[in-house]
Structure 1
Amino acid sequence: MGKWYYQWIPTSIFDFFHNHSPSSKMMLSFLKITDPELLETMSENKVLKLYQNVRTNIPAYKKFLKKCKVDKADEIKDIIDFNAILPVVDKHNYVMQYPLIERTFNHRLPKHGLIVESSGSTTKDPTNWFRTYEEEQAVARDVAFESRYLFGDKEYIIISCWSLGAWTTSLSFCSYFEQLGVVKNIGPDIEQVIKTLKFMGPKYNYIIAGYPPFVKHLIDTNALPWKKYNINFVVGGEGFIPGWRKYMLSKVKKGAKIISAYGASDLETGMAVETPLCQCIRDLFATYPKKVQKAFGIEELPSFFQYNPLRFYINNLPETKEFHTTVMTHGTPSVMVKYNVKDFGAKLSYNEMISIMNASFSGFEKRHRTELKSSLKLPFLWVAGRSDDVISLDGSKMYPQQIEMALLKDKRIYKSIQSFQTTKSYHNNGSDHFLVKIQLQEGVKPSKQLAKKIKNALQTNLSRISKAYKLGLHDLPSCYEPHVELYEFHNGPFDVEKIKNKYVVE
């Protein structure tokens, strides 16, 4: 708990400071020295105040509380009540149940400065989301601050490779980054990206942004002398394994950075960012993977991010290992209280994370005081993919990241692969087996020999990565033995180019 007097500090002071800070240097200095519990207390106070406004003025939320038979909605006095009494909302029980106009304050949408975006759903049809100009400006301030903290004050040419059109990431990214330099919105077009880089030449500083599979495909073309270009990368939309970063950095100029960002179209595309401290934490757990289970209660290595608690209140749903989020950005037209985006993960306070690291790694405390002393005192969010992005083999969970890690351990095989899908295939007798469908890189032809190599790599390396898989393969090989199907580039189940890769299919 924060110091008792933190409760009496008006949140408006911090909002004003956040919105009108004359320089990112002042904000940076503040976030390096502040008590992280102060920021968390402000976040709690702010979400309680916002809840009262939503409960009173958003018709859909009133109906939702009544439907859920929440009799004590007007008795929420503190953050304990907020987390314990109020039901969690999600896309199915709230967004799809009530018309948009009912989910806005007093049945009103702004007449000016309203942006309509679409989310590229990995499940069903895309959903429309509404942002205000005021909201976008608040996000842009955070993105500008984070970018200068991570990349410095250099001028950049920013190449956006997110899918073009009304998709949330494409529209938002360009507006957020335009104040950092020249932005070219190309979309996921490798040929145009290469033409742009050739035309501009290697004398400029670049940031290339896109989904991890696209960025890998771009670099794997070897169409340019990548080590001559000053390129940093911003990736998002899905996670990646630590070995992926190492693989990518080996192919580009020394000193390049790859920064992962976390967001959700339902909430905000710029929710959290991977800081140097986050990368350090993930690298340590990647080196000692057995410590992940003890620290977080999961087998899969998650990604780590830090977020601004003045714009987001996040808390955990321990029963499902998910988390709920309330966006508190000023100008948000349709606030959703305790929204579950259905991602597998959890929030940790800054102090909680540092305590875990000190207990898990003997040398971390010294490292934190020295090379990581400039860390931002912001809370953490760990994410391990969508909670439904997993298959069960005889009760054992198999995650897409584990499959990619197994493939990456053989560099020659990994270079030939563009993407993959995994599922369970059923025999006539009702039993199932583990099926992995592989999309090969452009120009690579399927062969029985390559399929056998991939199968052996999966079987051998998954046994090293997952103890549960190793035991299952020994006890029930018919279920756990991988069956590999190879497809040429953009053929078979990969013939339709999607906004995001779908790794687990029915």
Structure 2
Amino acid sequence: MKRAAVFSVVWLVEVFVALFMPRVQTHRLLLAPGIEPLRWTLGRWRAWRTAEQAARRVPAYRAYLAESGRASRLDTSGGIAGAFSTLPEMDKDSYVKRWSIPERCLDGRLPRRGVVVDESSGSSGTPTSWVRGPDERQATRQLLQLGFARTSEELPKQPFVLNAFSLGAWATGMNVTASLTESTMIKSIGPDRDKVVQTMREFGTDFTYVILSYPPFLKALFEDDRLDWSEYTIVCAFGGEGISENMRAHIEQYAHTVLGSYGASDLEINLGIETGFSVALRRAIAADPALSSALTKQGEYGVLPMVFQFNPFGYLIETNELGELVVTIARSENISPRIRYNIHDRGHVVRMRDLRPVLRSTGHADLLELAELDLPLLFHYGRSDLSVDYNGAVVAPDVVRDVVYGDPALLEAVENHRLISHEDAGGDRQLHIAFQLAAGAASVEGFDAAAARGAVVAELRALNRDFSNAVRTAPGGTLPTVAFYPYRTGPFRDDGRKLKNEYVWQLGASAVEDWDLDVSWTAPREV
């Protein structure tokens, strides 16, 4: 179809949606089975329209395209996917940090009213503010309400949401509360276990408690023996980081449903969701190497991916040559458009039409009976930028490097460093910060390993506010550990065999013992 005809169709669809969108039934119509090709096509058309609108109306994006020699209009004669691949990717460094917030907005200005600002500090520790206009917030609110409505229909008792995500300027906590206030009974607690226990004890067992938080918090909560958890009806939703199936199984002893959401402050907090079908598929992938080989890159990345479903009407998600997700938000209402935004997460998309024959050929056709939504699947393998997740925060080896470089004694004593994320025998995700001492470090004047451990954590917390908050709210037994290892010992014993240093490790519980990790020193909550 020609540009004018496509944009006219998109306009008519969006007018219909705008008129009826407040009704959950309209959302359900858009997610109805059997119209997957229509959603897929309309989403691409919307992304096309939004990209060209950004090229016309957003000063920063217009300049960004000019730098790369791209035209403001896409040549879609070879298909929309091919046309989009010619547009430059954007990320924090290449786009966000180079232009001011107004320059990245429609018509180069911020609206006077209705704008909410939230922030993320990311891995660098420098806060990044994200602006969201009223139309964008309404769209996010309605989508969250739809997801909640689908869940609440199956709940045996009146739902009571306990929002235990971090509150304040962080995107998830404030947006969840704003979105669900109209739809349910909600208390915004933050990651405070005492307050969750107190609230549930006060309100009793006549509710279905929908507890929203990070996986480590949920696990620690249910290990608190102040409540008899068997007396309560509980549903858990998590975000901020992935979860192992061992961890999920542990939490499911207390909650009859445990589902995750995928999002990011850079984009939106709810790009994709886990469903009963996607969880069953993930478990089948974990148990069947043939299915894993057919659908995933687990062999390449060494990680069992999280599996989400997402609505292609709202997002165009690509995978670049490095295996990273590149996301375009298709809505035109966003005051600060994201066109081919690379958040540096590894992943890829599989449409249901391509999944069905794979499941049948590998003997898993029975899983299709669980697929209530024919939405495409998003396979997510974690960060690609050498970062690790810790209790909802992102920690990068670069910030550890900055700590070392900022201390003359550390700079002279330390050969290199490594962030080691591992799961212990109890299913808790742990973060170990390891430093390899230089060959002659023992004689470095002024270097005190015992004092350096506390100084490292204090400086990391000063540089990365999300990490500081994560340490403050971490469940007992999951605080970060720090150790200094003599040259070529412990986790560094095999260093030198590869051309490049490895700054991040993701280890399973069984692998930890093999590397002789010194986890005897635990970071204090407050420094």
Calculate the TM-score normalised by the size of structure 1: 0.77
Q: What residue is the counterpart of 2:377 in the other structure?
A: 380
- Any idea what SS the aligned residue of 1:340 has? strand
After TM superposition, the structure 1 = structure 2 runs for residues 207-246 of structure 1, keeping only pairs within 5 Å, are: 207-246=210-249
Identify which of 313, 322, 331 aligns with 2:333: 331
Calculate the TM-score normalised by the size of structure 2: 0.74
Contact 2:281 2:367 in 1 (8 A): no
Instruction: Measure, in 2, the Cα distance between the counterparts of 1:400 and 1:18.
Output: 47
Structure 1 ranges of 4+ moved more than 6 A: 6-9, 398-401, 443-446
Instruction: Measure, in 1, the Cα distance between the counterparts of 2:512 and 2:477.
Output: 32
Q: What residue is the counterpart of 1:354 in the other structure?
A: 356
Identify which of 518, 521, 524 aligns with 1:485: 518
Amino acid at match of 1:425: Q
Q: What residue is the counterpart of 1:466 in the other structure?
A: none
Amino acid at match of 1:321: G
Deviation at 1:221, TM superposition (A): 1.8
Instruction: Measure, in 2, the Cα distance between the counterparts of 1:444 and 1:214.
Output: 10
Contact 2:419 2:432 in 1 (8 A): no
- Any idea what SS the aligned residue of 1:94 has? helix
Q: Does 1:12 align with 2:15?
A: no
Deviation at 1:327, TM superposition (A): 1.3
- Any idea what SS the aligned residue of 1:74 has? coil
After TM superposition, the structure 1 = structure 2 runs for residues 178-217 of structure 1, keeping only pairs within 5 Å, are: 178-217=181-220
Instruction: Measure, in 2, the Cα distance between the counterparts of 1:305 and 1:418.
Output: 21
Distance of aligned partners of 1:113 and 1:428 in 2 relative to their CA distance in 1, 3 Å threshold:
same
Contact 1:324 1:339 in 2 (8 A): yes
Deviation at 1:114, TM superposition (A): 0.6
Amino acid at match of 2:323: K
Instruction: Measure, in 1, the Cα distance between the counterparts of 2:477 and 2:339.
Output: 49
- Any idea what SS the aligned residue of 1:485 has? coil
Distance of aligned partners of 1:22 and 1:171 in 2 relative to their CA distance in 1, 3 Å threshold:
closer
Q: What residue is the counterpart of 1:280 in the other structure?
A: 280
Q: Does 1:145 align with 2:149?
A: no
Amino acid at match of 1:268: E
- Any idea what SS the aligned residue of 1:342 has? strand
Q: What residue is the counterpart of 1:461 in the other structure?
A: none
Contact 1:138 1:329 in 2 (8 A): no
Deviation at 1:80, TM superposition (A): 3.5
Q: Does 1:156 align with 2:159?
A: yes
Instruction: Measure, in 2, the Cα distance between the counterparts of 1:239 and 1:12.
Output: 37
Higher mean displacement: 184-193 or 174-183: 174-183
Contact 1:15 1:310 in 2 (8 A): no
Contact 1:261 1:272 in 2 (8 A): yes
Higher mean displacement: 18-27 or 214-223: 18-27
- Any idea what SS the aligned residue of 2:375 has? coil
Identity of aligned residues (%): 24
Contact 2:119 2:128 in 1 (8 A): yes
Contact 1:390 1:400 in 2 (8 A): no
Higher mean displacement: 130-139 or 85-94: 130-139
Count of matched residue positions in the alignment of Structure 1 and Structure 2? 429
Deviation at 1:386, TM superposition (A): 0.8
Distance of aligned partners of 1:30 and 1:122 in 2 relative to their CA distance in 1, 3 Å threshold:
same
Deviation at 1:9, TM superposition (A): 8.3
After TM superposition, the structure 1 = structure 2 runs for residues 23-422 of structure 1, keeping only pairs within 5 Å, are: 23-25=23-25, 27-28=27-28, 31-70=31-70, 72-77=71-76, 78-152=79-153, 154=155, 155-250=158-253, 252=254, 256-289=256-289, 291-299=291-299, 300-317=303-320, 319-359=321-361, 361-364=362-365, 366-368=366-368, 371-372=369-370, 375-389=372-386, 403-404=422-423, 407=424, 413-414=425-426, 419-421=430-432
Q: What residue is the counterpart of 1:410 in the other structure?
A: none
Unaligned runs of 5+ in 1: 392-397, 408-412, 431-436, 447-455, 457-472, 498-506
Q: Deviations over 1:27-80 (max 9, x none)?
A: 43663432311111111111111111111111101111122233x443533413
Instruction: Measure, in 2, the Cα distance between the counterparts of 1:31 and 1:165.
Output: 33
Instruction: Measure, in 1, the Cα distance between the counterparts of 2:7 and 2:333.
Output: 25
Contact 2:430 2:479 in 1 (8 A): no
Deviation at 1:480, TM superposition (A): 9.8
* RMSD (CA atoms): 3.4
Instruction: Measure, in 2, the Cα distance between the counterparts of 1:482 and 1:35.
Output: 51
Q: Deviations over 1:339-396 (max 9, x none)?
A: 001111112222223333333x3132x441xx325x21212211111113479xxxxx
